Structure 1
Amino acid sequence: MSEFGAAMTRLREAQKSSRGAPAYSRFVNRPLGRPMAAAAYVAGLTPTQVTLLSGVATLGGILAIALLPPTWWSSLLVAALLVLGYALDSADGQLARLTGRGSLAGEWLDHFFDAAKAVGVHIAVLLNWYRFTDLADVWLLVPLGFTAVASVFFFGVVGADLLRRIHRLSTPGAPPAPTGGRTSALYSLAVVPADYGLLCIVFLTLWLTPVFVFLYTALAAINALLLLASGVRWYRSVAALERS
């Protein structure tokens, strides 16, 4: 078996849990990231280097949204760069598990880029609408609102996970904290509007302004509702730690 094939086999056996993962991340992004992680392993790249490649691809997509007039080819370019960046974002973690070279600094860098893209992509949409469309100014409130929702969503996920880790480290013998996530395919499909990967695909319609505005606005509204529901769930899960 080739080195690449051996790496692919080991990666399939070392996947992280699918608990709480939306459909795109679970069924598309991780499989896309797996051969990238194997190729990076063969090439001798570190997880941090893959994270940097992910950041470069995502930044390219964000800049293309903000700077290029929306045409069919620029929309395809945007979607391709964002999808590539997201797949590499999965690959860095898979490579870290494969090589055992994960680090706190690498995890911080990964979250740093995640936070940047969560905000940057929506600011780029605002600039795109302002520069290249004749939408009324009130529509600019949609990407502004989506920016706030995405930022708070990211904090909610990372903050709850951090508090669970602190609790496990500071409480000897504490049982694993419940995450509240689910593993079924139906649940994965139900939460897919909150998946960044779906947003990447929606950018294929960027050049079709009415279609993109409708899909993007719908995603913004659904994500706002999911944030409210998730906020209640995160609060309850963290509050339960104090009773354990």
Structure 2
Amino acid sequence: MVVSAPPSIQENDRLRTWYGANVEALGSAQKQSRGTPAYSRLVNRPVARRVAAVGHVLGLSPNTATLLGAGLTGTGLTLLVVDEPSAGLGLVVALLLALGYVMDSVDGQLARLRGGGSVSGEWLDHTLDCVKTCVLHLAVLVSLYRFPPVESDLALVVPMAFLVVDMTTYFGIILVPFLRARSTVVSRASATAKPEHPLRKWLVLPNDYGIFCWVFVLLAWPQAFFVGYAALFAANAAFLLLACTKWWRELSSLDLLEA
């Protein structure tokens, strides 16, 4: 058996310096924070920045990070479907989903460290995000069916409606920037954008996927989980209504300007 020699002090110093340079580079090359909810902005991105810095030292590719995130999320949702709700299950599912969310940010940060991402990598990332959104609510639906937290079957309507809301939101977030880019005029909303209100990142927390991940801790108390899940559904439905109204007005104004 061949035992490799431990890294030298100089090698460790070099790796630490490389890691520090990666963290510093990512700190000055972050995506715009405007409109980003507090958890993603203050927790997920900073953690992902450090994971990406380590991953870059280890040679981790953005696509591998994307697949690792999908694997963590898939494992958590599989456990949700097959196991009865409990404190242990809730903690494990929440942790796996949260780690999957970290890796979902790591892929983009690794791409920035490498000088830019690829079209195929962006396709993979968005496709898996779409699959994740669908499977997540379907997993909740199966769990509620197998282990009902309340007596009424109407509870099963909530994850089905939540799936529609989330997929419509996802579609709008992807499509609206594409339609803006097609326009030959500058959007009034973009041209007259006001500074972000300091409370906005907290007010939109219910729309933050990170908060959604940790609501699964409530699986220790299935009825409390259902109430929390239903509350997030109501908040996200309200956000979607506001977003659709805003998008319609903005795109309609572009139509008038181009007429």
In the superposition, the TM-score normalised over structure 1's length comes to 0.91
- Give the equivalent residue in structure 2 for 1:153: 169
Q: Provide the C-alpha distance between the structure 2 equivalents of 1:65 and 1:182, rounded to a whole number of angstroms.
A: 41
Per-residue deviation, 1:176: 7.4
Rg larger for: 2
Per-residue deviation, 1:36: 1.2
- Give the equivalent residue in structure 2 for 1:127: 142
Per-residue deviation, 1:240: 3.5
- TM-aligned CA distance change 1:90 to 1:182, over 3 Å: farther
Q: Structure 1: which 5+ residue stretches go unaligned?
A: none
The size of the alignment, in residue pairs, is 239
- Give the equivalent residue in structure 2 for 1:224: 237
Residue pair 1:20, 1:182 contacting (<8 A) in 2 also:
no
Residue pair 1:79, 1:203 contacting (<8 A) in 2 also:
yes
Look up the SS of the partner of 1:14 in the other structure: coil
- What letter corresponds to residue 165 of structure 1 in structure 2? A
Residue pair 2:69, 2:99 contacting (<8 A) in 1 also:
yes
Q: Provide the C-alpha distance between the structure 2 equivalents of 1:81 and 1:126, rounded to a whole number of angstroms.
A: 19
Per-residue deviation, 1:134: 5.2
Q: How does 1:179-198 map to 2 (within 5 A)?
A: 183-198=196-211
Residue pair 2:73, 2:97 contacting (<8 A) in 1 also:
yes
Residue pair 1:146, 1:220 contacting (<8 A) in 2 also:
yes
- Give the equivalent residue in structure 2 for 1:89: 104
Per-residue deviation, 1:44: 1.0
- Give the equivalent residue in structure 2 for 1:3: 18
Identity of aligned residues (%): 41
> Cα RMSD over matched residues?
1.9
Deviations along 1:177-213, whole A, 9 cap, x unmatched?
A: 8456964431111111111111101011112111111
Q: Provide the C-alpha distance between the structure 2 equivalents of 1:25 and 1:51, rounded to a whole number of angstroms.
A: 17
Q: Structure 2: which 5+ residue stretches go unaligned?
A: 1-15
Higher alpha-carbon deviation: 221-230 or 1-10: 1-10
Q: Provide the C-alpha distance between the structure 2 equivalents of 1:241 and 1:94, rounded to a whole number of angstroms.
A: 33
- Give the equivalent residue in structure 2 for 1:115: 130
- Give the equivalent residue in structure 2 for 1:59: 74
In the superposition, the TM-score normalised over structure 2's length comes to 0.86
Residue pair 1:71, 1:206 contacting (<8 A) in 2 also:
yes
Q: Provide the C-alpha distance between the structure 1 equivalents of 2:198 and 2:36, rounded to a whole number of angstroms.
A: 9
Deviations along 1:141-181, whole A, 9 cap, x unmatched?
A: 011111111111111111112222333xxx4xx55784569
Residue pair 1:18, 1:183 contacting (<8 A) in 2 also:
no
- TM-aligned CA distance change 1:184 to 1:80, over 3 Å: same
* Deviation >4 Å, runs of 4+: 174-182
Look up the SS of the partner of 2:199 in the other structure: helix
Q: Provide the C-alpha distance between the structure 2 equivalents of 1:127 and 1:182, rounded to a whole number of angstroms.
A: 43
- TM-aligned CA distance change 1:67 to 1:221, over 3 Å: same
- Give the equivalent residue in structure 2 for 1:70: 85
